[in-house]
A and B are shown apart, each in its own frame.
Chain A
Amino acid sequence: MTYLILIFFLLLLMLAAAVYSIVQKDLLYAVIATGVISLVLTVLFYLLQAPDVALTEAAIGVALTTIIFIITIRNTVRHEDDYNKKDDLKSAIE
């Protein structure tokens, strides 16, 4: 019975993180929510008796995907509604 409550709680957490990551406009928070999805997926793979797949998802989905996204966000925009950054800077100086 507690096993079942644990699995339902994990599935609800995963779906809430997925909805949050596509609704949120600040891209850094959306990327961290994608990392939470991969983390819950690792625990679910372990509960479905698949330890090799859980190791691979933990190493690739949580660590490497998040860092690649964060470096991209650093080199491009931070908010989803950022239009021409060059024009904004020019009008702010004038």
Chain B
Amino acid sequence: MDDKLFEIMQFGIYTASILLILIGLYAALTKKSLIKIIIGLSIVDAGIHLMLVAIGYVKMGTAPIFSPGFEDAAAKMVDPVPQALVLTAIVIGFAVTAVALSLVIRLYRHHHTLEIDEIKNLKW
């Protein structure tokens, strides 16, 4: 019973992260308004971070923090390396989103529209 439950959970989290990446890519490829494209890229970031942390999970593991008196519990801990990578990735994803949105503000002041078809047609 426990094994069947675990298989269902495995399907659930991986499928949800792949679906998030696909939804975000669809928004980035098909939409016309610039702010919707940036929302789509932010959703792709969220899906990738969930996938990375889910790879490092160990069955019935615990958080990688040592408590006083339990210093030899290293065999039952989850993998700490993907967590360190995702920590950096979240901060950098936010920095890229902030710079992209400042470019959107600047483009709007110049062209007075945010549709990418109109911006391609205006020459100056």
User: Do A and B make up one complex?
Assistant: yes
Interface residues of A (CB under 8 A from B): 1, 4, 7-8, 11, 14-15, 18-19, 21-22, 27, 30-31, 34, 37-38, 41, 44-45, 48-53, 56-57, 60-61, 64-65, 68-69, 72-73, 75-77, 80, 82-86
Q: Residues of B contacting A72 with CB < 8 Å?
A: 35, 101, 104-105
Interface size on B, residues (CB 8 A): 49
Complex: how many Å from CA A7 to CA B2?
A: 15
Number of A-B pairs whose CB atoms are under 8 Å? 130
Q: Would you call B16 and A75 a contact (CB within 8 A)?
A: no
Interface residues of B (CB under 8 A from A): 5, 8-9, 12-13, 16, 19-20, 23-24, 26-27, 31-33, 35-36, 39-40, 42-43, 46, 49-50, 53-54, 57, 61-63, 65, 78, 83, 86-87, 90-91, 94, 97-98, 101, 104-105, 108, 112-115, 118
